[in-house]
Structure 1
Amino acid sequence: MNAPQPVINRPFLKWAGGKAKLAARISAILPKDQCLVEPFVGAGSIFLNTDYDHYILSDINPDLINTFAQLKQAPAAFIADAAGFFGPANNTDEQFRLLRALFNSTADQYEKALLFVYLNRFCFNGLCRYNQSGKFNVSFGKYKEPYFPKAELAAFASRLDRAEVLCRSFEDAFTNLPSDCVVYCDPPYVPLTSTANFTSYSAGGFSLAQQHQLAKLAMACKVPVVLSNHNTPETRALYSGATLQCFDVQRNISQNGQNRGKAKELIASFFPQEQAA
């Protein structure tokens, strides 16, 4: 008989590079301690699929962190108010543009968080992208009936009493780390191909210099650090000295469905006691 598959707790947000499918594998690698620190929390798949006493969830995206903070503050009201945006009247290109413009202009952080959930589910592929002026600019997704993640929002909210949510850089996330913590990093990945260079990849995103800085911080850290990235010669060199696990994973890495397939995945683990040995 085949072994039962582990239950995956899925996040309420769609997120490029989300780790829901790899959550069990990553959880098995993460050392067990009191606190998990995530400098690149994204949609929170690892947060949802691990069991630490305390979490420190951070990301440099203020809209993402604000949404988590608003959900934490008033879960029932937030979920009810977010549901109001999910209906046929808001599932048109014209209405989507109006609500996207409202999201980009409002100073009301509660309203902005509700709209972030709406945009995430109604926009193309659940992408989160901003123009050079910092305005959300993903187009309408044209879905027949976007899914309202009521259960996922409730499940996420139920765990937030164990979590701090902070908007900050990954460099700041590595400062003053608790001695009883483990750090899991899921940064924007390096390009898989030579045609996808770092110049285009880092426009408003993550540069080669930042990849090196993150690896340097992980290597020097006094608590365990586990990182995910693409498996390339560059990342294997970048994480020299770490314990590496390399494998293939199914990922939708192309907008063209016919070009979607296996991606090369790498998990690097830095354990201070092993480095000191």
Structure 2
Amino acid sequence: MAEGRSFIKWAGGKTRYAAQLVAAAPAYTGRYWEPFMGSAAVFFELRPAKAVLSDANPELVACFQAVAADPEAVMARLDAMPNTPEEFALVRRQDPGALDDIGRAARVIYLNKTAFRGLWRVNRRGGFNVPYGAYDRPYYRRETLLEASNALACADVRLCDFADALREAAAGDWVFLDPPYLPEGGFADFKRYTAGQFRDADHERLAAQMREASDRGVLLTMTNSDTDATRSIYAGFTMTRMATRRDINLRAAARASSDLVVTNY
């Protein structure tokens, strides 16, 4: 089996901890679900036989669908996009709805690799508003993108709310949840991946859906910030701490931290 790796970097993504999370996975017998897809790092590490990946970010979902369907076309489109401030400004202003599927995917990967710190942040109108990062690095590695496309052949990639995924998950399935974290303050308070924001009420809604799924025999793992609010909202689940590092934080001393890993097993 080839080494699992995502083709994009996503703020809050679990690339660095994917192997650790997979090693602690429950002995599930059904499908694997990842309702907050992001970079899908845990999916690529796990390489399940059957999976449902979903997200509320339509551009991210369109990108994964296009990479799954035609990675060669995505790479060819990226090859035609120079890494310059002028091109970045042009691509950032594009209306994704006016692009074809390959163009939408290339735009996501291009902005992910050239925007400051690889952030995906949008305003309330859905406009991408991260500045140019001036990074001298490739947009993709051919082997990684092709292997990602191969891995995605087993996956159903959907645009949907997390609640829809949790309602459909069945007994014996494993659902890994990596929602926008409850705020710790400062740079940790980051939730503008879509035009709508993920608020405390959404965490309450997520906790309720998790409890319903758990009652049906669905196996659940969630990562979140280690705060009193997290422990209160998700009370009743098993909670352990996982040492982490916050590279999005500009102050080196503030990068060391820990997450909560919340499970029902």
Instruction: Tell me the matched-pair count.
Output: 258
- How many Å separate the matches in 1 of 2:3 and 2:229? 31
RMSD: 2.3
Aligned to 2:263: 269
- Counterpart selection for 2:54 from 37, 58, 66: 58
Tell me if the contact between 2:10 and 2:118 (Cα under 8 Å) persists in the aligned partners: yes
Unaligned runs of at least 5 residues, structure 2: none
- Please report how far the alpha carbon of residue 147 of structure 1 lies from its aligned counterpart in structure 2 after TM superposition: 4.5
SS in 1 for 2:261: strand
Letter in 1 for 2:262: A
State which drifts further: 148-157 or 53-62.
148-157
The yes-or-no answer on 1:206 pairing with 2:198 is yes
- C-alpha separation between the residues in 2 aligned to 1:65 and 1:11? 14
Per the alignment, residue 159 of structure 1 pairs with: 151
Letter in 1 for 2:228: P
| Bigger mean CA offset, 114-123 vs 176-185 | 176-185
8 Å CA contact retained: 1:104, 1:136: no
Please give the residue correspondences for 1:91-240 in structure 2 after superposition, counting only pairs within 5 Å. Answer: 91-104=83-96, 106-193=98-185, 204-221=196-213, 222=216, 223-240=218-235
Which residue of 2 is the match for residue 245 of structure 1?
A: 240
Question: Quick one: distance in 2 between partners of 1:51 and 1:143?
Answer: 30
Q: 1:42 is matched with which residue?
A: 38
Identity rate, percent: 31
What letter corresponds to residue 65 of structure 2 in structure 1?
A: A
Does structure 1 retain, via aligned residues, the 8 Å contact 2:77–2:102?
no
Q: 1:69 Cα shift?
A: 0.8
**Which residue is 2:75 aligned to?**
79
Change (3 A) 1:197 1:61: closer
TM-score between both structures, scaled by the size of structure 1? 0.85
Q: Which runs of 4 or more aligned residues in structure 1 lie more than 4 Å from their structure 2 counterparts after TM superposition?
A: 195-198, 200-203
Change in CA separation of 1:110 and 1:147 when aligned onto 2, cut-off 3 Å: closer
* 251 and 9 in structure 1: CA distance in 2 versus 1, 3 angstrom threshold: farther
Amino acid at match of 1:237: S
Answer yes or no: is the 8 Å Cα contact 2:117–2:133 preserved in 1. yes
What secondary structure, in the 3-state scheme, does the structure 2 residue paired with 1:133 have? coil
Q: Is the 8 A contact 2:74 2:103 kept in 1?
A: no
Q: Which runs of 5+ in 1 are unaligned?
A: 1-6, 272-277
Contact 1:103–1:116 (CA under 8 A) maintained in structure 2? no
The alignment's TM-score, normalised by the length of structure 2, stands at 0.89
Could you report, residue by residue, the CA deviation over 1:91-142 in whole angstroms, capped at 9, with x for unpaired residues?
2212211122235462423211111111110111111111221111211111
Q: Over residues 55-77 of structure 1, what are the superposed CA-to-partner deviations in whole Å (9 max), with x where a residue is unaligned?
A: 00000000000011111112233
Name the SS for the 1:155 alignment partner.
Answer: helix
Q: Distance in 1 between matches of 2:188 and 2:137?
A: 37
AA aligned to 1:152 is T
Report how far residue 8 of structure 1 moved: 6.3
User: What secondary structure sits across from 2:129 in the alignment?
Assistant: coil
